[in-house]
Structure 1
Amino acid sequence: MKKKSVELNLNALILMIFTSVFGFANMPRSFYLMGYAAIPWYIISAIVFFIPYAFIMAEYGSAFKKESGGMYSWMEKSVGSKYAFIGTFMWYASYIVWMVNVASSIWIPLSNAIFGGDRTSSWTIFGLNSTQTLGILGVIWIIFVTFTAIKGVERITKITSVGGTFVAILNIVLIIGAIVVVILNGGKFAEPINKMINAFTVSPNPDYKSIIQIFSFITFAIFAFGGLEVLGGLVDQTKDAERTFPKAIIIAATVISIGYAVGIFACGMFTNWSNVLSGDNVNLSNVAYILMNNLGVQIGYAMGLSEAISIQIGLWVARFVGLSMLLALTGAFFTLTYSPLKTLISGAPKEVWPGKLGEIKNEMPVNAMYLQCAIVIVIILLVSFGGKGAKEFFRILVLMTNVAMTIPYLFLAAAFPKFKKKQLEGKVDKAYMFYKSYGSAVFVSIMICLMVGFANIFTIIEPAIGGKIFDTIMMIAGPVSFSIIALVLFSIYEKKK
């Protein structure tokens, strides 16, 4: 007897979109970079990018619900196999950069979980500085995860759900804690709002004052709305999708945008930017822990407790944040070591992969995982031994990740007009259509591509203007290298074919 599939209702769909997209660390990072001035950019990004892009994902998923290749199938059926391969390869490459970032920075939540603070800047082995030490630890981590994942990760990935629950609790702690501090302090904000227009347009961070620097922040806002690809597989599981899906996306987008805005605003309720975040010890990878440590301290002070007890509260809050993020990142890392690679190998033609690279053993792309491990190691060593301090090192890693992770959006958005044309001609399923005309598809495609493209261009050129050529080279090197590899692999396949 065939089991009846469970259909998603409006509330279930909103919850799935929220949990896939909303990220706790985005709020402390955004407050660190722009203060309250980050809030308008999140609202603009939601209107110009998040909502229109979500409907594109919904249309792709609905039209190709029987295809197992995910975004590869979407682009192949819309544009062609070469475009699909390069686009999917770039999507996979973004996870390579993500692994480089997390392998080197996962030690920060570990340090917080143990010590209640980030002590990685003082770590050293074999006479190396802290940045190089974290690079070596990152190499050890990727080797350990790769060899463990090859043998199976069923038990380890259960950590993800536990970590996810902990991180969800963090959002509640942030907002309720901030409200408690302000109430106990008689309504006084740690980061004052003297002039409303200035507070929400001018960043307290001296590195985010010029137009180019401010525009480069848009990649952070866009990156914060990442994870929408999951929507593609949900349309056919949704009850009354024609009406439920648009409603769910608009409600989820509104809740997520307001959630981010409230979270960023809450950071300023208990954190004075100049006093807490202006030091050289603060970077994009540890700011969430420093900020939450400060929340614990400020709760203690507001309650009239002694300095020693307040500091202890801060340390225990930081430990909870560290443990939560460590569990979530560990679970995600084990999954992402093989999942995107397996999707790429399964979706693309088998003949594309040279030698035994495309082989799947015990449901794992073993040979490709070994090569992936080697590539991640090379990039980690390149960046960590590039002569940067810890603050600059983590800044480069985060910027590299933001740029790499947003490039696949360009491929999917650019393919949408061709998809719409085929859909209107009856060559593609019309099960769900939010954009009713070819003109609307072209308009939304251009709007998204311009926003993501300009944000990435400003992010890439901003360091070079300030004389940081190495930063710009590293951000360009990844996407360019992977696009060349994809072109070469597919060109060899076409000649064989």
Structure 2
Amino acid sequence: MASSDVNVNSQKKMKMMALILMIFTSVFGFANMPRSFYLMGYGAIPWYILSGLTFFIPYAFMMAEYGAAFKNERGGIYSWMEKSVGPKYAFVGTFMWFASYIIWMVNICSTIWIPFSNAIFGKDVTSTWGIFGLNSTQTIGILGIIWIIAVTFTASKGLEKITKVTSIGGTAVVLLNIVLLVGALIVLAANGGHLAEAVTSTQSFIKSPNPGYQSSIGMLSFLVFAIFAYGGIEVTGGLVDQTERAEVTFPKGVTIAALIITVGYSLGIFLCGIFTNWNDVLSTKGVHMANAAYVVMQNLGYQLGQSFNMDQAASLVMGAWVARFVGLSMFLALTGAFFTLCYSPLKQIIEGTPRELWPGKMSEIKDGMPINAMWIQCIVVVLFVALVSFGGDAAAQFFSRIVLMTNVAMTLPYIFLSGAFIAFKKKKEIEKPFEIYKSKASTWIATIVVTFTVGFANFFTIIQPAVDGDLQDTIWMIVGPLFFAAVALLMYARYDRTK
């Protein structure tokens, strides 16, 4: 998932191609493809298509309608829900959305060292890191704490140079997709059209080679990963008023972009199987969700070397350099995103909501930055990183748990937004410049399908570890979102008393 800033004051309207590219860069995430291949093999493809049809496209149209109706509101999604349902619902939903970025930051504080390691060493060696007698998980936790403090300190100064890093990282990730496509086709040609991960029957597109995702519940829980891969589509709601002939161009652009992204993800997962045999490459010790992308791409480099008749040593060197390129690209992209997201969601929630909701001087904006709130946010992230890092788990379990926490927390706000859509449509006083869901039936069907898809995916993701006997993982996935929902309700109750 990526985020994009658009110049609202721009006089020039976006044409179809510009809109499609904007949606693509906001949504499409390179690492989702190799990570999905690691979890489900070719079996990931049907889930991406299903979640595209039941979540991505109908949800994008909802965001388009919201964005058109509230294009002049500063509060973003808070204003959408507050004017549709009410302030308490809006605050809890928006706070959950904001909280999901806190979970995202906890995730990135720990996992950003994997691309860093790949950029420097050509492979993930984070499991061997240790300082002052601490194990690798604890060491990465300490590095993460230093990282969030350094980023908060720099961002609080109002520096905007980080956008250059973001654009460099974004360009590098586009190049990664080209390397994946061209590289896979070269390997396919060199192997005489034989796939490394053979397609034996239709079961290859249903059953996962990963033992953890072979049960019915395991397969269903993968749906949340597919939904997470489509995250960021709410950004498109803010593009409506900047689109040429929006009532025609926008729904068409969203549909085309959604189809390209759905096909792109499915194709990318299939390309991974051209040069990666799951059992040979991904079943080995030390491979987990956070480093799967680097392992797969390092293997692409190795297989390319073999295709060019290089010896084993030269092929391994080529694999290491591809891994370095992936690591550097992802590190730059994540760094840019981290700097933006450490203040952007926080600034939006503070500017959109009543000042009285925030205790003390938390709502103060200095030099365009909510500095006090940023430091409180930093303390919360530090506490979370410390709590998870020093919990005594092995590195693979630690990374898997954080990724799962992020996926669940980031998809829950979608339920709030889709749940408010019926109330939004019922309010005749809200001017709606264009509508995609023109009948009551289409509104209800879209709302039920989107809400059910996200709820269903999260339910199975949460219960899967408990069914497999790992109750601790289930508890961790519930704790994050529940904690922030409780904080939101307590803050709103306090605000209610002081009104």
| Pairwise same-fold verdict (TM > 0.5) | yes
Match of 2:65 among 34, 48, 59: 59
Residue 10 of structure 1: which of 13, 16, 28 is its match? 16
Alignment equivalent of 1:246, drawn from 244, 247, 251:
251
Aligned counterparts of 1:4 and 1:144: Cα–Cα separation in 2:
34
Q: What does the per-residue CA deviation read over 1:20-54, in whole Å, with 9 as the maximum and x for residues that have no partner?
A: 11100000000000000000000000000000000
Q: What does residue 184 of structure 1 align with?
A: 190
Q: How does 1:250-399 map to 2 (within 5 A)?
A: 250-399=255-404
- How many angstroms apart in 1 are the aligned matches of 2:29 and 2:152? 25
The 1-side partners of 2:141 and 2:419 are apart by 36
| Amino acid across the alignment from 2:35 | R
2: distance between equivalents of 1:145 and 1:285? 22
Q: Distance in 2 between matches of 1:145 and 1:470?
A: 31
Q: Aligned to 1:234, what secondary structure does the other structure show? A: helix
1:143 to 141, 149, 170: 149
Out of 69, 80, 98, the residue aligned to residue 74 of structure 1 is 80
Give the TM-score normalised by the residue count of structure 1. 0.98
Shift of 1:468: 1.7
Provide the residue aligned with 1:131 in structure 2: 137
Structure 1 stretch displaced more, 118-127 or 470-479 = 470-479
Shift of 1:280: 2.1
Letter of the 1:432 counterpart: F
Instruction: For residues 226-259 of structure 1, give each alpha carbon's deviation from its aligned partner in whole angstroms, at most 9, with x where no partner exists.
Output: 1111111111111111111111111111110110
Report how far residue 157 of structure 1 moved: 3.0
Q: 1:156: how far off?
A: 2.5
Pairwise CA distance, 1:4 = 7.2
Contact 1:223 1:405 (C-alpha < 8 Å) held by counterparts: yes
- Return the alpha-carbon distance in structure 2 between the equivalents of residues 347 and 309 of structure 1: 56
Q: 1:387 corresponds to which letter in structure 2?
A: G
Shift of 1:414: 0.1
For residues 192 and 375 of structure 1, what CA distance do their matches in structure 2 show?
Answer: 46
1:346 Cα deviation after fit: 0.6
> Following the alignment from structure 2 to structure 1, what is the Cα–Cα distance between the partners of residues 485 and 75?
20
Which amino acid letter does the alignment assign opposite residue 100 of structure 2? S
Assess if the C-alpha contact under 8 Å between 1:280 and 1:391 holds in 2: no
1:173 matches 2:191: no
Q: After TM superposition, list the pairs within 5 Å mapping 1:463-482 onto structure 2.
A: 463-482=465-484
Q: Is the 8 A contact 1:117 1:315 kept in 2?
A: yes
Distance 2:219 2:191 in 1: 32
Quote the residue 1:487 is aligned against: 489
- The 1-side partners of 2:37 and 2:157 are apart by 41
The alignment partner of 1:157 has SS state of helix
Structure 1 residues without counterparts, runs of 5 or longer: none
Partner of 2:412: 407
CA contact (8 A) 2:57 2:254 kept: yes
- Separation of aligned partners in 2, 1:223 and 1:156: 25
3-state SS of 1:6 partner:
coil
1:153 aligns with 2:155: no
Structure 2 CA distance, aligned partners of 1:274 and 1:430? 53
Is the CA contact 1:296–1:317 (under 8 Å) kept in the aligned structure 2?
yes
Compute the RMSD of aligned alpha carbons.
1.0
The residue identity in structure 2 corresponding to 1:119 is V
Contact 2:158 2:368 in 1 (8 A): no
Higher alpha-carbon deviation: 459-468 or 284-293: 459-468
User: Partner of 1:188: helix, strand, or coil?
Assistant: coil
Distance 1:158 1:58 in 2: 29
Matched residues in 1 for 2:70 and 2:378: separation? 32
Deviations 1:422-479 (A, max 9, x none): 1xx3x11121100002232122111111110011111111111222222111111111
Kept after mapping to 1: 8 A contact 2:74/2:348: no
| Residue correspondence of structure 1 range 187-198 to structure 2 within 5 A | 187-195=193-201, 197-198=202-203
Amino acid at match of 1:210: S
**Letter aligned with residue 143 of structure 1:** I
Query: For 1:162-189, what per-residue CA distance to the aligned partner results, in whole angstroms no more than 9, with x for missing partners?
Result: 0000001001100110010010111111
CA–CA separation in structure 2 for the residues paired with 1:471 and 1:385: 15
Structure 1 partner of 2:4: none
CA contact (8 A) 1:33 1:208 kept: yes
Secondary structure of the equivalent of 1:161? helix
For the residue of structure 1 that corresponds to 2:74, the secondary structure is coil
What pairs up with 1:436-475 in 2 under 5 angstroms? 436-475=438-477
Give a deviation string over 1:171-213, Cα, whole Å, max 9, x none.
Answer: 1100110010010111111101111x11100000000011111
Residue 436 of structure 2, aligned match among 426, 434, 437: 434
**Structure 1 ranges of 4+ moved more than 2 A:** none
Deviation at 1:149, TM superposition (A): 1.1
Gap regions ≥5 residues in structure 2: 1-8
Q: Report % sequence identity.
A: 62
Three-state SS of the structure 2 residue aligned to 1:207 is helix
What is the CA distance between 1:351 and its match in structure 2? 0.4
Alpha-carbon distance in structure 1 between the residues aligned to 2:147 and 2:451: 36
Q: Cα–Cα, structure 1 residues 448 and 4, in superposed 2: closer, same or farther, change >3 Å?
A: closer
Q: Residues of 2 paired with 1:325 and 1:52: CA distance?
A: 30
Q: CA deviation at 1:303?
A: 1.6
- The Cα of 1:125 is off from its aligned counterpart by 0.9
Q: Does 1:217 align with 2:222?
A: yes
CA distance in 2, matches of 1:333, 1:178: 31
Q: CA deviation at 1:386?
A: 1.6
Determine the C-alpha separation between the residues in 1 that align with 2:242 and 2:481: 34
| 1:430 partner amino acid | K
The Cα shift of 1:11 comes to 0.8
How many Å apart are 1:485 and its aligned residue? 0.6
Which is worse superposed, 4-13 or 279-288? Answer: 4-13
- Residue number in structure 1 paired with 2:5: none
Per the alignment, in what secondary structure is the counterpart of residue 273 of structure 2? Answer: helix
